[in-house]
Amino acid sequence: MAELTSLTRRQREILDFINRKIESRGFPPTIRDIGTAFEIRSPNGVMCHLKALEKKGFISRQGKSARAIQISHRTVPTTSIPFKGLVAAGTPLAAEEQEERLDLTELFPGADIYALRVQGTSMIDEHIQDGDIVIIRNQESAQNGDRVVAQIDGEVTLKVFQRMKDEIHLIPANREMTPIVVTPDRDIRILGVLNGVIRKC
């Protein structure tokens, strides 16, 4: 049986990514998908990782296309989700992605979820406290009232989403704080919607 310990951290991340895409869509990602997800500019860079995974017995390939990837039966199923770092629940802060993992897939099943640790108190009326870990489902859209992770001009924050005419309001769940008003001239992206909260007592 192939041992996951034989993989580098990046190889393990790419294998997990391939597994998630196959589980969620029924077919593997393209070379471009993998390159975009891991900021690998050269297709040859992606192919080097795929060749290493194939050599170590975790995948098999028929031809050169990433679409031809098949997961080996010797692969141990992944049981963890990405832990990406901190998210502000106050003044937005620059995102610094970490390379850790949390074994929570049984509690929060499905693909495209990740964890963030809350920093700040702007969501305390939603029972989300400083230091809590929030589980986020990765998606790029939101409905009014959703608790979202939003990126504004390169900084991230956790707030309640509300669209108002030409503006988007990111509303804190703390009466002492005021909403962040995002006008059309600002760059905003929805990075995900709250799926759960974990607190260590």
pLDDT (tens digit, 9 = 90+) per residue, 12-54? 888 888 887 777 676 788 888 899 989 998 989 999 999 999 8
Separation between Cα atoms, residue 15 and residue 147, nearest integer Å: 30
Q: Let me know whether 54 and 110 are in one domain.
A: no
Q: What's the whole-model pTM score?
A: 0.54
Identity of residue 68: A
- pLDDT digits over 97-117, tens only? 666 665 666 667 666 788 889
- Domain boundary (45, 71, 97) is at 71
Instruction: Give domain status of residue 76, yes or no.
Output: no
Contact status, residue 133 vs residue 117, Cβ threshold 8 Å = yes
80 part of the active site: no
Q: Which residue among 21, 159, 165, 200 is the active-site one?
A: 159
User: Domain boundary residue among 47, 71, 95?
Assistant: 71
In the residue annotation, 24 being an active-site residue is answered as no
Same domain membership, residue 188 and residue 99: yes
172 & 92 share domain: yes
Please tell me the least confidently modeled range out of 110-114, 153-157, 167-171, 177-181.
110-114
Q: Parallel, antiparallel, or unpaired: how do β-strands 188-198 and 133-137 relate?
A: antiparallel
Catalytic choice (122, 141, 165, 200): 122
Tally of structural domains, the chain: 2
Which domain does 29 fall in, by range?
4-71
